[in-house]
Amino acid sequence: MIGKIIMIIGILGVLLGGAILLISLLLPVLTDGRTSWDEALLGIIPGAIVLAGSLVIFGGGLIIVLVQRKKKLRGIEHRRGDALV
| Domain span including residue 77 | 2-84
What is the H or E stretch that residue 72 is in? helix 37-84
| pTM of the entire predicted model | 0.79
Domains contained in the chain, number: 1
Whether the pLDDT of residue 84 is over 80: the answer is: no
Residue-wise pLDDT tens digits, 10-28: 999 999 999 999 999 999 9
Average pLDDT, the chain: 90
The radius of gyration of the chain from alpha carbons, rounded to an integer in Å, stands at 21
pLDDT recorded at residue 74: 83
Average pLDDT, stretch 54-61? 96
